[in-house]
């Protein structure tokens, strides 16, 4: 069975894939059944599209504004709302961890921009992606669990008007290729993370550019060291 699954996964992903031979047979059978159900759910929600796996209790709103690449997998109990000018675009072999929210507009008075995700990207469990100001994520980038991105800020300069009535400002968030965003990282509007960066678990990225191949950590995050060849 492992040989068959390796072949099947390779066909979907378009790259070599080898399951660990120590995985018990009953676990593999359960995995196959689960994926088949997710595949049928994807066909029902997005007929005539590419191969899409969608987990149970996942809610998808504004489906016409959501586009998937080949082999996209959205785990159980996720929430995706594509209402925005550019929608949600997920590349090939993107995985969205369970209990993740992708929300493109905070208010229908001023709809947001949306989310663009490259190929071979892994979004961890329990993530929050607030995409009103636009979020772009490059190829081969991976996210830990409980990561949150907020691409919008409230205006607050007028003391005579409630903050909620002063509107918002948006700059967007850009995450480059081949980055590793650790668990429980928070990324705020206006942040650019360049290619090859590692962001330590629990860090806050609050403004500016985090330069290529840097390892950052802290609240707010600071450069700890640069990645170098071994």
The predicted pLDDT at position 15 comes to: 75
Instruction: Note whether residue 10 is domain-resident.
Output: no
170-192 pLDDT, tens digit per residue, is 999 999 999 999 999 999 999 99
Sign of the C-alpha dihedral, residues 7, 13, 16, 19?
negative
Instruction: Note whether residue 124 is domain-resident.
Output: yes
The predicted pLDDT at position 106 comes to: 86
- Which residues of the chain fall short of a pLDDT of 50? none
Instruction: Note whether residue 6 is domain-resident.
Output: no
Instruction: Note whether residue 210 is domain-resident.
Output: yes
Query: Domain holding 203: CATH number?
Result: 2.160.10.10
The predicted pLDDT at position 177 comes to: 98
The predicted pLDDT at position 179 comes to: 98
The predicted pLDDT at position 129 comes to: 98
The predicted pLDDT at position 10 comes to: 75
The predicted pLDDT at position 49 comes to: 76
Instruction: Note whether residue 215 is domain-resident.
Output: yes
64 DSSP 8-state letter: G
The predicted pLDDT at position 148 comes to: 98
> Can you give the pTM of this predicted structure?
0.93
Interacting residues of 190 by C-beta distance below 8 A, sequence separation 6+ = 171, 172, 173, 207, 208
Q: How many domains is the chain built from?
A: 1
The CA distance from 167 to 170, in Å, is 10
The predicted pLDDT at position 229 comes to: 81
Domain carrying residue 134: 50-226
Instruction: Note whether residue 4 is domain-resident.
Output: no
The predicted pLDDT at position 11 comes to: 73
As beta bridge partners, residue 36 has none
Instruction: Note whether residue 195 is domain-resident.
Output: yes
Instruction: Note whether residue 21 is domain-resident.
Output: no
């Amino acid at each position: 069975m492992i040989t068959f699954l390796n072949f099947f996964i390779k066909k979907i992903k378009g790259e070599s894939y080898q399951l660990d031979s120590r995985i018990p047979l009953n676990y593999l059978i359960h995995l196959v059944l689960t994926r088949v159900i997710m595949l049928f759910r994807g066909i029902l929600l997005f007929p005539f599209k590419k191969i899409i796996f969608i987990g149970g209790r996942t809610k998808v709103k504004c489906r016409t504004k959501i586009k998937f690449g080949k082999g996209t997998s959205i785990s159980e109990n996720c929430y995706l709302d594509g209402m925005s000018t550019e929608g949600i675009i997920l590349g090939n072999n993107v995985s969205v961890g369970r209990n993740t929210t992708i929300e493109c507009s905070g208010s229908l008075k001023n709809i947001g921009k949306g989310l663009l995700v490259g190929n071979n990207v892994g979004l961890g469990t329990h993530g929050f992606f607030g995409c009103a100001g636009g979020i772009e994520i490059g190829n081969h980038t991976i996210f830990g669990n409980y990561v949150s991105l907020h691409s919008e800020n409230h205006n607050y300069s007028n003391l005579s008007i409630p903050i909620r009535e002063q509107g918002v400002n948006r700059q967007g968030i850009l995450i480059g290729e081949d980055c590793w965003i650790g668990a429980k990282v928070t990324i705020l509007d206006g942040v650019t993370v360049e290619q090859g960066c590692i962001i330590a678990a629990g860090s806050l990225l609050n403004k500016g550019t985090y330069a290529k191949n840097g390892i950052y950590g802290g609240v707010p995050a600071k450069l700890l060291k640069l990645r170098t060849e071994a």
